[in-house]
Amino acid sequence: MFETLKQQPADKILQLMLMYAADPREQKIDLGVGVYKNADGITPVMRAVKAAEKRIWEAETTKTYTGLTGDSAFTNGMISLLLDESVARDTIAAVATTGGTGAVRLGFELIRMMNPKARIWVSDPTWPNHIAILNYLGIEIKPYRYFNAETRGVDFDAMIADLQGAEPGDAVLLHGCCHNPTGANLNLVQWQAVADLLNDRGLLPMIDIAYQGFGDGLEEDAAGTRLIAASVPECLIASSCSKNFGIYRERTGILMAISADSGRQALVQDTMATLNRLAYSFPPDHGARIVSTILNDPDLRADWMAELEEVRLSMLSLRQQLADELRRLTGSDRFAFLAGHRGMFSRLGVSPEIVERLRTDYGVYMVGDSRMNIAGMNSKTVPILAQAIVDAGA
């Protein structure tokens, strides 16, 4: 039967990783895959993570299952980190998942289970895997305009105009912060307008937040998510620990579901546990235990927050340095938006032909739509990158 299988579309980002690895040039820059790297090109293990793993190793006495929904210390810790006290705890159902991607997949499946006819409105552009998963699940996708290619900011009027066409029972996928791939984010006034529209149209928000702490800070990056969660009767939130805890390979995520009242929480919790069971039975625990150990120990938490702030400020510094260098080389402010964006990504705003020229002629690797991973640079490579961008005709 294997002969009936069809070749699946290649993942462009994974392809880019292979091409970069095969490139023999010493002077090459990887701005493709969304992984944080320090100035030495290493994705480090955070200090608090190392300390937490040591404690776990010394204290752990069993490798038995934790439960279908994961360890409560993890889910409660993540709920507190993301939502604080913005929503009543007894209205929140939560399950640990296999990374943020697992949380997104589970959220989509829950929407389909609740309303098989639901359409999911997705920002244009969005993380490509959102589209791939929705297509695989057979859920209808409705795009809404989000990014203004001229201003390099949010095209908010167009976004609202498109979402006015959503129907009751539809879901709207939102990026909680550090929009991937554009780096352009909603402000709180705009978040409130989105919340009002969701209520007016009877729409279910699903927030994907993978970069809390990478933008303006842990609390600031959660503000939009908290506003939505507190403003609407029902909400789904998919969150990842890969980036802000640096535990990419541990596949640690969480899906939260906020109900209109506490009376519905138990049913939602049971349904999410069932979806976990059908997907992989019990979620992985090691990464979740690292996170809960850090969040529940004041000293580890303080050290983690301090190192996360170092990471955030480092990316902001690189953004500013690149914008300044491009201003110096071009004599214009047309790349100033790079300093205003937040998170790991920005769209440079150049053609696929220039992106290809950057790769072939200058060893600069970025996704074809000109999405670049800011953390792929360092202070020494920024001038090289800026010169390449100018020489390539950007």
Residue from 208, 257, 304, 394 carrying the catalytic annotation: 208
Residue from 121, 127, 191, 304 carrying the catalytic annotation: 127
> What is the rounded distance in angstroms from the CA atom of residue 183 to the CA atom of residue 111?
27
Catalytic site includes residue 208: yes
Task: Report the candidate in 77, 44, 64 with the shortest Cα–Cα distance to residue 291.
Answer: 77
> What is the rounded distance in angstroms from the CA atom of residue 345 to the CA atom of residue 343?
6
In angstroms, what CA-CA distances link 42 with 36, 52, 177, 356, 376?
A: 8, 20, 24, 25, 10
Tokens of 270: 């049971």
In angstroms, what CA-CA distances link 384 with 81, 333, 364, 381?
A: 39, 19, 10, 5
| In contact, 102 and 253? CB cutoff 8 Å | yes
Residue from 103, 118, 195, 210 carrying the catalytic annotation: 210
Catalytic site includes residue 142: no
Residue 153 forms beta bridges with which residues? Answer: 148
Catalytic site includes residue 124: no
Residue from 221, 243, 288, 386 carrying the catalytic annotation: 243
> What is the rounded distance in angstroms from the CA atom of residue 33 to the CA atom of residue 35?
6
Catalytic site includes residue 210: yes
Amino acid at 54: K
Residues recognised as catalytic: 127, 208, 210, 243
